[in-house]
């Protein structure tokens, strides 16, 4: 079996959803590439899109239509100025024209050329999207893509993750493999991941890549605590990180990120205060995510606040430095690969246990080693965190990644820290449950879970909470 890089699981993305935004965006880019390969773009006459399953049911709230349009227009979500997205969409809507691949101008009516096929599911995966291109010479091509969660896409014949799958020096496809390799080589888990990651990039490149992710994490949190107002989408959800930050700092002013972090480090170290800071960090990220902001997908966007919150907590209040930050991210990413390979990281397949649960397990493992845990304790931390997210449903109100999604990141962060602390005070030899057991149980739970609790907004809070929607 080939391996997945930790940096396929933790990577730079854009909100509000890795499966409903990044996936369709990448699918659109892939289809435009297909047109270029098989036909002259100049011959393109019309382009239509159909959204199926969860992409239809919660697509409006997740911005699936917007992401698809931006992909068709050839924008890169890693580079686009996110503040300009509303203006780009408004111009396309007003003119009823789009520049396909940024080159070919085509008539395009957003309301007519993107169809939400409500109630229609494709058998391959709950997140389906179909593109149909018609050409002036009478030919046409179509392709169905599937968004697998975490920004991964597939057709029925190809999977984008396959491109970067390689055989590592010491393969780790289960927690049991990790324990075996660390014992035989007398290594920490992060040392083991370092060696395996060199299959894809040099050690210096690994460090640079991890530190770039750390930079994006800090930038995202800083934008979140610096921005006030109401989140888009019509639920009138107020941003809270801005106010919480001001309260915790007693209205002290700051002019840059470094100065702000210095103030955070100097605040009261009581349990109550630190607890509030952790929530503030998580809220900041997911409020940015809900606003089509740039985030670090880890392993998804709906769960993008957990790892940043735990990592910044460790940096500000546990005193970890650059090398430990790198190791935290490597371990977290490696734990994420276990869930990706043996279960799922898609809420449309497994409910929110596949997102918040997995991110909490990832963060718990990373923190446990940074705080001195041995390999068995690190894996135990991941197990404890996931064990207490089993069965968590995905029931976003109005399909928006806001209620209860934003708060869930705070809860997942606190659980991760608790899990790490419990593991550090425990003897793993006495544990009755292994990480592999939990991953297997999570996958069984995912398959048994009623479909209305899998990111369809057809059950739970999504139907039991009455809301007045001013805008959709």
Q: Is the dihedral of CA 312, 314, 320, 324 positive or negative?
A: negative
Closest CA to 335 of 365, 357, 371: 365
Residue 472: pLDDT over 50: no
Residue pair 130/141 in contact (Cβ under 8 Å)? The answer is: no
Closest CA to 301 of 291, 289, 293, 312: 289
Residue 36: pLDDT over 90: no
Domains of the chain by residue range: 6-162, 166-464
Tokens of 63: 């911005």
Which of the four pLDDT bands, split at 50, 70 and 90, describes residue 161?
A: low
Cis previous bond, 205, omega within 30: no
Give the Cα separation of 22 and 76 in Å (integer). 10
Residue pair 381/439 in contact (Cβ under 8 Å)? The answer is: no
Which of the four pLDDT bands, split at 50, 70 and 90, describes residue 149?
A: confident
**Continuous segment of H or E residues that includes residue 266:** none
Q: What's the pLDDT at 193? A: 98
Q: What's the pLDDT at 157? A: 84
Closest CA to 149 of 301, 18, 15, 28: 18
Provide the mean pLDDT of the chain.
Answer: 95
Distance of CA 92 to the CA centre of its chain: 28
DSSP secondary structure letters along 226-257: T--SB-SSSS-PBP-HHHHHHHHTTT---SSH
Q: Which letter does DSSP use for residue 21 in this model? A: I
Helix (H, G, I), strand (E, B) or coil at 267: coil
6-162: CATH topology: 60s Ribosomal Protein L30; Chain: A; (3.30.1330)
């Amino acid at each position: 079996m080939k391996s997945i890089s930790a940096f396929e699981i933790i990577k730079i993305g854009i909100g509000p959803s890795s499966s409903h935004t990044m996936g369709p965006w990448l699918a659109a880019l892939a289809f435009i590439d297909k047109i270029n390969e098989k036909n002259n773009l100049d011959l393109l006459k019309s382009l239509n899109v159909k959204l199926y399953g969860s992409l239809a049911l919660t697509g409006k709230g997740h911005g699936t239509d917007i992401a698809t349009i931006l992909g068709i227009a050839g924008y890169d979500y890693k580079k686009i100025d996110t503040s300009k997205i509303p203006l780009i969409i408004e111009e396309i809507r007003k003119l009823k024209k789009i520049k396909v691949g940024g080159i070919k101008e085509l008539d395009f009516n957003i309301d007519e050329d993107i169809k939400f096929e409500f109630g229609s599911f494709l058998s391959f995966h709950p997140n389906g999207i179909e593109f149909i291109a018609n050409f002036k010479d009478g030919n046409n091509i179509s392709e169905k893509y599937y968004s697998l969660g975490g920004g991964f896409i597939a057709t029925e014949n190809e999977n984008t993750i396959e491109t970067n799958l390689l055989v590592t020096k010491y393969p780790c496809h289960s927690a049991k493999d990790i324990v075996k390799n660390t014992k035989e080589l007398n290594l920490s888990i992060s040392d083991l991941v370092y060696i395996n990651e060199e299959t894809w990039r040099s050690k210096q490149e690994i460090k640079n890549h991890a530190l770039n992710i750390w930079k994006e994490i800090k930038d995202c949190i800083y934008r979140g605590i610096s921005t006030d107002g109401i989140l888009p989408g019509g639920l009138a959800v107020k941003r809270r990180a801005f106010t919480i930050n001001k309260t915790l700092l007693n209205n002290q002013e700051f002019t840059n990120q470094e100065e702000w972090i210095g103030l955070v480090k100097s605040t009261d170290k009581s349990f109550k205060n630190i607890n509030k800071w952790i929530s503030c960090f998580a809220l900041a990220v997911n409020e940015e995510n809900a606003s089509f902001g740039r985030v670090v997908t880890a392993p998804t966007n709906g769960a993008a606040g957990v790892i940043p919150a735990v990592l910044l907590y460790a940096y500000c209040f546990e005193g970890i430095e650059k090398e430990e930050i790198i190791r935290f991210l490597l371990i977290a990413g490696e734990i994420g690969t276990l869930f990706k390979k043996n279960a799922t990281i898609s809420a449309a397949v497994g409910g929110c246990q596949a997102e918040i649960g997995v991110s909490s397990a990832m963060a718990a493992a990373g923190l446990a080693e940074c705080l001195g845990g041995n390999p068995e304790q690190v894996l135990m931390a991941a197990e404890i965190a996931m064990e207490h997210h089993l069965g968590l449903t995905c029931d976003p109100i109005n399909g928006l990644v806001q209620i209860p999604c934003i708060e869930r990141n705070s809860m997942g962060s606190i659980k991760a820290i608790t899990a790490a602390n419990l593991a550090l005070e425990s003897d793993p030899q006495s544990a009755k449950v292994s990480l592999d057991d939990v991953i297997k149980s999570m996958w069984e739970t995912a398959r048994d879970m009623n479909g209305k609790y899998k990111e369809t907004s057809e059950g739970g809070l999504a139907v039991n909470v009455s809301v007045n929607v001013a805008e959709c």
